[in-house]
C-alpha cells in the first residue's frame, strides 16, 4: 500500500507544489500527496520552519 499525506490547507499544498510535489484532490477538496523520503523531509522541514518563526513572533 502506498503512503499518502492528506493536506487540508491550500497554502501548504501550494508550498509543496512549488517544491515539485504533485497532488490529487479528493471529493472533500483535500489535497492528497504521495509520500516518499523526499516528501517526508520537506514536510518535516516545513514544520520546523513554522515553529522557528512562531518562536520569533512571540
Domain spans, the chain:
4-57
Q: Which three cell numbers stand for residue 50?
A: 513554522
pLDDT tens-place values along the chain, 58 residues long = 899 999 999 999 999 999 999 999 999 999 999 999 999 999 999 999 989 888 766 6
- Identify which of 28, 39, 37 has the alpha carbon closest to the alpha carbon of residue 5: 39
Q: What's the confidence (pLDDT) of residue 40?
A: 98
Q: What's the confidence (pLDDT) of residue 58?
A: 60
In angstroms, rounded to a whole number, what is the distance separating the alpha carbons of residues 20 and 58?
32
pTM of structure = 0.83
Residues in the chain, overall count? 58
In angstroms, rounded to a whole number, what is the distance separating the alpha carbons of residues 25 and 31?
5
Amino acid at each position: 500500500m502506498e503512503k499518502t499525506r492528506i493536506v487540508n490547507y491550500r497554502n501548504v499544498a501550494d508550498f509543496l507544489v512549488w517544491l515539485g510535489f504533485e497532488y490529487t484532490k479528493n471529493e472533500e477538496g483535500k489535497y492528497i500527496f504521495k509520500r516518499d523520503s523526499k516528501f517526508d523531509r520537506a514536510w518535516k522541514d516545513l514544520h520546523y520552519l513554522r515553529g522557528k518563526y512562531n518562536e520569533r513572533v512571540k
